[in-house]
Structure 1
Amino acid sequence: MASNWRLRHGRLIRKLMMTSAPPFAKHLASNDKKTRDKAVKSLATFLAMDERDPISKPDMDKLWKGIFYCFWMSDKPLVQQALAADLAELLLTTSSTTSALSFLSGFWEAIVREWNGIDRLRLDKYYMLVRRFINATFRLLAGADWAEDVCNTYNKMLTREGGPLCPNDQRVPSGLAYHLADIYLEELDKAVAATEPPPLPAPLSTLLSPFISLAAQTPTSITYKRIQSEVFSPLLEALAADDAPPAKKRRLDPDYAALLANACFDQPSTGKLDPTTLRQKLLRRIFDVASEPETRDSSRRKMYALFRQSTGEED
């Protein structure tokens, strides 16, 4: 598989050399590290320009092919970590939120398109790249005061056809959705903690909407199980920690302290909610989505069971 991948990317490099994308794009795919480093710096300058025409969809695709291969070529852990951080930070240095979302959309399209071709030895570094982009995205949303239109644009990016959390597109690799479930709350907590000055309360119902939709509509029981075990249950347990006995509190890990100290349901402007109220509202949201006609029967049963177990209601 790796040899076929190299052949395919060799053809990609030749195409990039002839592209009409930003002139530094072809240098991102250079075999020379110094050339690639200069290209990343040029990319940062280009994206930060206040006055430029939006990057067209074809050119954005070509640009991201170059960026993807640039990261592919990074072969030392410290180099990989630095490059992943630099690429993710580009979201926060673009000229506008609209431009940042366009760049982010290109990232997700590239990741989904290329994921199944990533060999085992390189997979961990792409997990790291996704983690860095998730964190930077949350800081971008926080900087935009969690504006509803910005959050909705991002959510659609994740759940649309070809998106990493699309429930009905068999081309989307399930491993990518599992990784997002594993890291989502952790990176949201980190982003809230790192944002200065402190952002408006994070709207958990809005931010978790892609996972609630995926849980309701996935045809795969493993995917539902991963979402419940890594997203729903840890968050609900953390929100219930204030009412837990001291011994159980000590066992709660992680506790998402920064997030829960500054979170709301769906309207940041109304201020943060206490954990107990927020937990009740999130459980009601899960129940309501379970009740929708498009929710799969198997998921409906599991979501109802989660609601009953979490609220102490009987069948």
Structure 2
Amino acid sequence: MKLDEKGGLQDSSQTFAYKTRRNSPANPIIVLHTDLILSAFTEADMLRLCKGLHYVLWMQDKMLLQEELADRISQLLLVFSNEEEKVLFIQSTFKSLAKEWNHIDRWRMDKFLMMMRRVLRVLFKHLSSLKWKKSIRDPYWSAFCRTTMSPDRSFPDGLKFHFASLILDELDNAGGMNKKQVTACLKPFADLLAVRSISDYMFDSIIEEIFATILHQKSEEVVSRMESDGAGEESPPGIQFDYVAIGQMLFDVGKKPETISKRRKKLYELVKKFDIAAKDGDPYRFEVPVPEIILLVLLKLKTTPKYGDPPVVL
């Protein structure tokens, strides 16, 4: 990779792709580190850079080198000198991936999904080291709202689904969040549920991968505690949720006039489950239905029989 007279990038995607033909993932990354220190990046520069990185990974077929390369690409986030360029790198990475998404064959898909996870992991660790400060966190979430949390149907649903499936795991892995911060990070997903233009697939994916997952985790905690009679070891520290706040957030989305009626019903069912979770109950507890005849018999048995009354016949 070379710099032009203005300090910009020259043909970054072609340069990276050429260098990877030597099957050494380190070479283009080492050169890139030098250029990142020397260059100020525009959005166009960053998109070219991320397109080049995309094809670096595309052309690497050896599994171990794919993992090393995904790690190196994700670590590039930390090379940029300011948060504005870091945000631009994240946004451009997802835009580049979205542009090429429909051209990725099934043999190559896994390595790009892995890269996406590694990028989020490095980003969230970075934000955790900064105590998830709102002024720093919000620009990244705004970038997500333009890409992986966007209602734009031109941005692939499959990519959005994978992002939704990763975010709770990687937030938990990064740690350092309080309940209020967790709720703030989940709010864009809740807001997306009110958008009429999103597909049913995307709506159901957000419900299952985000909100139902939170409830299932609570259910497992309650069941585990009941099985140990409350005397077991405390659950390991992890991401904590404000069930009241999340339930209220979903209720507010459900009552919006633009929310589709059949989706509103699903949202209100979730709200009821979050209310149970907020009371430290099992949101997925199954009550065995009692046949009506048994209920009638029990009701009769509760009544004190008088002398001469006929016996209860089942």
TM-score bracket, normalised by the shorter chain, equals: 0.7 to 0.9
Partner of 1:175 in structure 2? 158
Q: Which runs of structure 2 are paired with 1:180-195 in the superposition (5 Å)?
A: 180-192=163-175
Structure 2 unaligned regions, length at least 5: 229-233, 278-314
- Cα distance, 1:214 vs structure 2: 2.4
Q: Which runs of structure 2 are paired with 1:1-315 in the superposition (5 Å)?
A: 21-23=8-10, 25=12, 26-30=14-18, 31-33=20-22, 37-47=26-36, 49=37, 54-160=40-146, 163-167=147-151, 169-192=152-175, 199=176, 201=178, 203-217=181-195, 219-239=198-218, 243-244=222-223, 246=225, 257-260=236-239, 263=240, 278-312=242-276
More helix as a share of residues: 1
- Cα distance, 1:243 vs structure 2: 4.5
Structure 1 unaligned regions, length at least 5: 1-16, 193-198, 250-254, 264-274
- Cα distance, 1:116 vs structure 2: 0.9
- SS at the partner of 1:121? coil
Give me the whole-angstrom Cα distance separating, in 1, the residues matched to 2:144 and 2:137: 11
Which has the higher Rg, Structure 1 or Structure 2? 2
- Cα pair 2:21 2:59 within 8 Å, conserved: no
CA-to-aligned-CA distance 1:7-57 (integer Å, 9 cap, x gap): xxxxxxxxxx9xx8425834311152357532211223433x3xx553012
Partner of 2:286 in structure 1? none
- Cα pair 1:108 1:164 within 8 Å, conserved: yes
CA-to-aligned-CA distance 1:227-269 (integer Å, 9 cap, x gap): 22221112133346554453679xxxxx995433xx5xxxxxx
TM-score w.r.t. the length of structure 2 is 0.74
* 126-135 or 183-192, which deviates more: 183-192
* 140-149 or 28-37, which deviates more: 28-37
Give me the whole-angstrom Cα distance separating, in 2, the residues matched to 1:223 and 1:248: 36
Change (3 A) 1:187 1:114: same
- Cα distance, 1:306 vs structure 2: 0.7
CA-to-aligned-CA distance 1:61-115 (integer Å, 9 cap, x gap): 2111111111111111101011101111111232122221111111011011111
- Cα distance, 1:172 vs structure 2: 1.4
Change (3 A) 1:223 1:200: closer
Quote the RMSD (CA, aligned, Å): 3.1
How many matched pairs?
266
- Cα pair 2:193 2:253 within 8 Å, conserved: no
- Cα pair 1:189 1:256 within 8 Å, conserved: no
CA-to-aligned-CA distance 1:135-173 (integer Å, 9 cap, x gap): 11211222232122332222221222xx12212x22111
Query: In structure 2, what residue type is equivalent to 1:259?
Result: G
Give me the whole-angstrom Cα distance separating, in 2, the residues matched to 1:33 and 1:201: 46
Give me the whole-angstrom Cα distance separating, in 2, the residues matched to 1:165 and 1:256: 31
Give me the whole-angstrom Cα distance separating, in 2, the residues matched to 1:115 and 1:248: 45
Change (3 A) 1:116 1:24: closer
